[in-house]
């Protein structure tokens, strides 16, 4: 069996903030949205907060949620854009979803070797007044997905252009191919591969493609990227943190130690989780970097646009770990 470092629920494993029960938020429509059509104009949804803090020593680690309906139930799902759409077993029961056995999913296990998933289900997720049919994986209930009824996956996120403004917070859904705003900060080329969106970055002298992962609070570093740069360089050594998948090493990057986007946008003062060897381990940009910008993603144009930078309320550095 293989142990999955499952990025979608990594946020829940690392979150320290108390998460209140999700409360559905009604979407605000600027134009009428028909369930049978793609978004017309802008559909603006207020986002909730699943976990994290707006100012965690200068980092905004909030992971956001969006209001959805599925079957007989309404709730808030974590906003993700990669991998499979996930439903918790508890929410699947409320939505009266029929779960089908899936032998392949039994191979995906937690740190104790127990299967994470009960099977899969064909579902219809209603988001912003539009119906999105998809195959969802049903995750067993546990501490790792407490207060996380579900996660939006790649098959849904690729259907429209979406813009996140963490200052409100809110997400705006638009038709694919909508012209970008003028005078943007930067436009990053987007690779659409393996049910994920990837951007090219430079970090510690190495270059690599990393996924966009708004469902996790911090940066994740794959074993391949760790090998490309010296993890142990400098006086600060990685610390260990315990998650539901076992112990992980954590490194805090500050000063001139950071990541470069688009060749000229340099970001530092963030935490990097050093992932162990696994077929599913991949480098990813999490919320502590994404929340520094108002940004949009368009799969049809293969672009991620950084529209403007979001000021941080307090700029004190990350505490040494």
| pLDDT tens digits, one per residue of 139-152 | 999 888 888 999 99
**What average pLDDT score do residues 18-46 get?**
51
pLDDT at 304 over 70: yes
**What average pLDDT score do residues 113-120 get?**
93
pLDDT at 64 over 50: yes
Which domains does the chain show, CATH number per domain? 14-174 (2.40.70.10), 186-309 (2.40.70.10)
122's tokens: 């064909």
Any idea what DSSP says for residue 258? S
Cis (ω within 30 of 0) for the bond into 28? no
180's tokens: 């970008």
Rounded distance, CA 314 to CA 60, Å?
A: 10
- pLDDT at residue 170, as a whole number: 98
* DSSP-based three-state secondary structure for 212: strand
What is the helix (H) or strand (E) element at residue 296, kind and residue range?
Answer: strand 293-298
The CA-CA-CA angle for residues 276, 58, 211, to 5°, reads 40
The most confident of the ranges 19-23, 221-225, 315-319 is 221-225
pTM of the model: 0.82
- pLDDT at residue 211, as a whole number: 97
Q: How confident is the model at residue 155 (pLDDT cuts 50, 70, 90)?
A: very high
Residue with tokens 């690779």, as numbered in its chain: 191
Question: Taking phi first (over 0 means left), then psi (-120 to 50 degrees means alpha), and beta for anything else, what does residue 71 get?
Answer: left
* DSSP-based three-state secondary structure for 276: coil
More confident residue, 206 or 168: 168
């Amino acid at each position: 069996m293989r142990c999955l470092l499952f990025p979608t629920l990594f946020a829940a494993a690392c979150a320290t903030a108390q998460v209140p029960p999700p409360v559905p938020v009604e979407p605000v429509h600027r134009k009428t949205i028909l369930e049978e059509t793609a978004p017309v104009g802008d559909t603006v949804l207020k986002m909730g907060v699943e976990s994290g803090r707006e100012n965690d020593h200068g980092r905004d680690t909030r992971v956001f949620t969006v209001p959805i309906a599925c079957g007989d139930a309404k709730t808030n799902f974590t906003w993700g854009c990669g991998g499979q759409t996930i439903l918790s077993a508890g929410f699947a029961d409320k939505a009266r979803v029929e779960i089908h056995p899936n032998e392949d999913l039994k191979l995906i296990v937690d740190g104790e070797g127990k299967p994470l998933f009960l099977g899969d289900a064909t579902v219809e997720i209603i988001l912003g007044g539009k119906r999105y049919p998809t195959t969802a994986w049903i995750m067993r209930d546990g501490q790792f997905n407490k207060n996380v009824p579900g996660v939006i996956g790649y098959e849904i996120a690729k259907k429209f252009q979406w813009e996140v403004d963490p200052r409100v917070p809110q997400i705006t859904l638009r038709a694919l191919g909508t012209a970008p705003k003028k005078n943007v900060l930067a436009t990053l080329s987007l690779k659409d591969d393996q049910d994920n969106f990837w951007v090219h970055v430079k970090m510690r002298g190495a270059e690599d493609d990393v996924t966009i992962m708004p469902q996790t609070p911090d940066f994740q570093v794959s074993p391949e990227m760790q090998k490309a740069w010296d993890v142990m360089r400098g006086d600060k050594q990685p610390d260990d943190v315990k998650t539901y998948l076992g112990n992980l090493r954590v490194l805090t990057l500050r000063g001139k130690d950071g990541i470069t986007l688009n060749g000229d946008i340099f970001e530092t003062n963030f935490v990097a989780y050093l992932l162990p060897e696994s077929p599913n381990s991949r480098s990813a940009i999490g919320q502590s970097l994404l929340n520094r910008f108002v940004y949009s993603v368009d799969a049809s144009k293969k672009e991620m646009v950084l529209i403007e930078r979001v000021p941080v309320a307090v700029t004190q550095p990350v505490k040494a770990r």
